[in-house]
Amino acid sequence: MDKYEQRAVLGGSFLMLVFFVAVVIATTGFGVTVPTCIVDVKPFKHGQLLKLADKHYELHAVAKMWSFDPPEVTIPPGSRLDIFLTSPDVAHGFNIEKTNINLMAIPGQVTYASVTFDQNEWGNFRLFCHEYCGMNHHAMQGWIKVWPAAALGATNQLAPVAAQQPTPAPAPASAEKPADTTTQQPNGGAQQ
């Protein structure tokens, strides 16, 4: 083998080794996780939050035109949240602000990712769609509320942030604001 050819082969091999080690370090040392397409879970129609153990929850999320089901969930700080995501219609995005969660909801498939919230960080984390999915794409959002039980009991009313949002919240909160109910539909999906 020509000596320059030999050097090129050795150099190339060395670089590949460096990149491989970098990937291993990134995944183990920095907690980078890549969303996984789950093949043994059938796409589901309804969202729900399951409590698996203390500070361990499983979220079955459905992204659809143009809302998330469930629209919001509340978990305590320090919780691990395993997310299973699907879509009944078109491709949507699923991005939880201030976390590494950045998923695609693909019709007919289930995507999985997991996030663990910091013990000392709590508040309302916005969840939004970042894949253009039609007319009301911009209004497609939800909330992951990370609140200690004590704070929940004290206020008994979450949503100081959500209340300021112009989004059609299909859920409660409207009880104390009977003012403008003209745009509120029971199904929450009829907004123009």
Task: Return the structure tokens found at 143.
Answer: 């909330």
Q: Rounded to whole angstroms, what are the CA distances from 106 to 17, 37, 61, 88? A: 34, 9, 12, 8
Q: Does 140 bind ligand CUA (CB under 6 A)?
A: yes
Q: Is 155 helix (H, G, I), strand (E, B) or coil?
A: helix
Q: Does 61 bind ligand CUA (CB under 6 A)?
A: no
What is the per-residue binding string for ligand CUA in 87-126, x denoting contact by CB under 6 A?
A: -----xx---------------------------------
Q: Binding residue for ligand CUA (CB under 6 A) from 132, 135, 177, 190?
A: 132
Residue type for position 38: I
Q: What DSSP letter does each residue of 1-29 carry, written as one string? A: --HHHHHHHHHHHHHHHHHHHHHHHHHHH
Q: Is 113 helix (H, G, I), strand (E, B) or coil?
A: strand
Q: Binding residue for ligand CUA (CB under 6 A) from 106, 133, 144, 162?
A: 133
Q: Does 137 bind ligand CUA (CB under 6 A)?
A: yes
- Residue 135 CB, nearest approach to ligand CUA (Å): 10
- Our CB check for ligand CUA shows the closer of 7 and 138 to be 138
